[in-house]
A and B are shown apart, each in its own frame.
Chain A
């Protein structure tokens, strides 16, 4: 089933290794980093909103 004879062949990509892995590598990197950035942005936003909410709820009682 599997087309490649060895792992080295797979990495070599018939001489196109740099181009193929350059494409797949950057794509994988972006698809890994984008969700992380979105998640981090979400965390900081939630933290900021919580702080604001607490500050707001404190003011009227004092």
Chain B
């Protein structure tokens, strides 16, 4: 009973706003710490890869960015489902706050993928199943942001965006499967990246960087959600009190 009470308390913008405010510096600091540790291991300590030379070091940002781009979409879909099922105000704001970061992660994944592909495969872009799916994921992010931006009424924007996210999540496995199948039909097995086994140092470096990207995403999303909250709840008393004080 008490647990449920707390959950509802934090789901209300008036309590979540200050909580997010106190948490942001911690997440940012943890992100920096993980980033320093990950870069130290990955860029300074880890030995070279016998197949790919030093070029493999792109993995330390490419893989975390790809993971985050997929993970953030899933988290957004989770918030969308909560929002549609329980009609909570916070969930739609969270989904909207996450979207730009997710799109940037998808972009980074493509960018670093291209810079990795050029020396390894000889071209900036191949229609590899994973690259193609990542590109489609970026399209899905852009579609979501365009839809929510086009709707003036925030409640409708949340719900319509949420529905689009759920449709997207249902479709992602189908899209991935069809692209993968299409890719094997059109391309021989010339492109294969997963062969080389990773040294432990590399693996740890990558995991640390993934943690850094994760914490970074949380920090930025919380920053963004605080602004969205002020905007949406501008007529609520707590926002007026907040604005009357000396907010930064």
In-complex A–B contact (CB below 8 Å)? yes
- B88 on the A face (CB < 8 A): no
Cβ < 8 Å to B, chain A residues 1-55: 1-4, 10, 13-16, 19-20, 22-24, 26-27, 30-31, 34-35, 38-39, 41-43, 45-46, 49-50, 52-53
User: A38 touching B243 by the CB < 8 A rule?
Assistant: no
User: B57 touching A38 by the CB < 8 A rule?
Assistant: no
Report which of A4, A30, A35 forms a contact with B223, defined as CB distance below 8 A: A35
Question: Would you give the shortest CB distance from A2 to chain B, in whole angstroms?
Answer: 5
How big is the A interface, by class?
A: 20 to 34
Number of cross-chain contacts by CB at 8 Å: 94
**Chain A residues whose CB sits within 8 angstroms of the CB of B220 once the complex forms:** 34-35, 38
Complex CA–CA separation, A19 to B47 (angstroms): 18
**Chain A residues whose CB sits within 8 angstroms of the CB of B239 once the complex forms:** 49
**Chain B residues whose CB sits within 8 angstroms of the CB of A43 once the complex forms:** 248
Complex CA–CA separation, A16 to B51 (angstroms): 13
* Interface of chain A, main secondary structure: helix
* Interface of chain B, main secondary structure: helix
Complex CA–CA separation, A20 to B112 (angstroms): 8
* Chain B: interface residue total (CB-CB under 8 A): 41
A-B contact pairs, 9 of them (CB 8 A): A1-B45, A14-B54, A15-B53, A23-B116, A27-B65, A27-B108, A34-B101, A38-B227, A49-B231
- B23 on the A face (CB < 8 A): no
Complex CA–CA separation, A30 to B104 (angstroms): 8
Complex CA–CA separation, A39 to B111 (angstroms): 25
- Top 8 closest A-B pairs, CB basis? A14-B54, A16-B55, A23-B112, A13-B54, A42-B227, A19-B115, A23-B58, A14-B53
CB-based nearest B residue for A44: B227
Complex CA–CA separation, A30 to B57 (angstroms): 19
- B216 on the A face (CB < 8 A): yes
CB-based nearest A residue for B54: A14
**Chain A residues whose CB sits within 8 angstroms of the CB of B101 once the complex forms:** 34
Q: Known: A34-B220, A45-B230, A49-B234. Contact between A20 and B243, CB under 8 A? A: no
